Amino acid sequence: MSGVHIEIGRPQEAVKQWSSKSIYFSLLESNHSATTQAESAGFLAKQLNETHSHTADMPANIEQLDAWLSDHNEVVGRQYHEYLAARKAGQPRWYFGTKSHALFFLRAVAPTKLVDGSWLYGLMKHWQDPRLASLIKIYLEELGDGVEAMNHVVLYRKLLKLNACEDWKNLDEKFFTQGAIQLALAAHTDSHLPEVIGFNLGYEQLPLHLLITAYELKELNIDPYYFTLHTTIDNAQSGHARGAIDAVREAMPLFGESRDYMQRVIAGVKLNDVGLSTLDVIKHFDLQGEVVRILQSKANIGQFMHSDRCVIGGKTINEWLRDQDQVAVFLYEMEKIGWVKRHQNPEDSPFWKVIAGDKAPMFGVFTGYEQQVIYDWIAGEKIESMPMLARLGRPWRMVEKQSVAQEEARHKRYGNVYDFQSGNKITHQLRQENDFTQDQLSFERHVHGIDDEEKLMHFLVDWMSPAKHYTSIGLCATRYFKSHMDSLF
């Protein structure tokens, strides 16, 4: 199963540049082309080669992993305690100066969060191998075991939508690198199993930034549930951090020489360093630059939409917007004439009144995220003195866990009526067929018509891919798969 793996540290004849963004979206296609497979293999080999010289703090001796895990959690716990003490003593937030800064972060890490757990997908076709049980369990839990309210990607998609940050696909190349790594590991698991196991080991350890992020998002009226969920599910006693160490031990019999195995596991751990880190993304935020970027993104259409009666700095607005390089100067000119009154209540700026509010002349032109950026930029040094509702928006509500009865009703509504425990098909009447239910009913009929276990599981695994698992059918497929796995182990 381990196959032939690409040697790390071997000199490359020529350094080829791959597009992380292109590979990311290509790997999210349902069926990978031969070109995608080849390019993603080369991309993965390049990342392994570049991180070969990096140091990793994890031990090479598998017997020392438990102590390593315990020490790591103790260090993170002490650091978080220091953070809380500093905040209690009056220090400002360490990560997010404004709500727009936090929303920028949510948007910037979306390419990674929206493939959460994807690096384990390649293991699903090996569902019968008990040596991979811990890893398969982790992947199922990333998928919420098929429950929409617990599926990590569903949760993050909802978080983006709630905060009007859904335009993440327009992000620059550098924000897709880590997500591309995770998808590449999923696509090449058969030749990189130890690296997948190692990546999972590194990723599932509780980081300090996760705790601080959740704390500060809550302060800024942004629902932190996605992040608090990971602080609990990744715990060292019974969560993913523990399961990740168990997985290292469980898979070792697949490899004859433990030293080589552990070196490849460590190589996988190092892949967590590829791309922008959480702190890199946070530091990447430039409020002024983000305002300029937002206006530039509107310029292609905006240059035709304004009346020539309004002249600012000797040019019409249309003329300013025809040259995107002049947008920063345009902002300066608006300040000069008082259209933007920096470091004051944005409500006092004519520009804000034009873009914000249901009856504003430019209602709908700027998204909620974009308005938050502009609001924070105008308020500037006075941001913390602005009214809380205007500055932070309406209070968020924690996601409520559904009761068992609600979940059973959801499953029945989705038509999950095949009992893997007994092997019998339950004779609930399927929903009435119409244009909105054809895909679900077709899925159910197909599942109920497969009598071969291997074929059935292969079909379900396809729907559990990073591109599909968060859909209604993907969630249903995950529940079928989970039910069968529970009957095996």
Convert the pLDDT of each residue in 327-371 to its tens digit: 889 889 989 999 999 999 999 999 999 999 778 878 788 999 999
Q: What mean pLDDT do residues 19-41 have? A: 93
Query: Where does the pLDDT of residue 397 fall: very low under 50, low under 70, confident under 90, or very high at 90 and above?
Result: low
DSSP letter string, 250-294: HHGGG-S-HHHHHHHHHHHHHGGGSS--HHHHHHT--HHHHHHHH
Q: How far apart are CA 121 and CA 187, in angstroms?
A: 8
435 or 457, greater pLDDT:
457
- What is the mean predicted confidence (pLDDT) over 303-329? 73
**Mean pLDDT of all residues in 247-262:** 89
Burial of 435 from C-beta contacts in 10 A (0-12 / 13-18 / 19+): exposed
CA gap 420, 479 in Å, rounded: 10
Give the dihedral sign, CA 57/58/60/65.
Answer: positive
Tens of pLDDT along 116-149?
999 999 999 999 999 999 999 999 999 999 999 9
Residue 192 has pLDDT above 70, yes or no: yes
Q: Which of 242-246, 405-409, 461-465 has the lowest mean pLDDT?
A: 405-409
Residue found by looking up tokens 């409500």 in the block:
347
pLDDT tens for 68-122 read 999 999 999 999 999 999 999 999 999 999 999 999 999 999 999 999 999 999 9
**Dihedral of the alpha carbons of 102, 107, 112, 113, in degrees to the nearest 10:** 70
Angle (CA) 434 440 443, round 5°: 130
CA angle 155, 161, 162 (to 5 degrees): 90
Mean pLDDT of the chain: 86
Does 430 have pLDDT greater than 90?
Answer: no
Residue 371 and residue 356 in contact, taking contact as beta carbons nearer than 8 Å: yes
What's the CATH code, domain 20-283? 1.20.910
pLDDT at 425: 43
User: Across the strands, what pairs with 315?
Assistant: 312
Q: Where are the domains of the chain?
A: 20-283, 287-392, 404-488
Sort 411 into a burial class: Cβ within 10 Å, 0-12 / 13-18 / 19+: middle
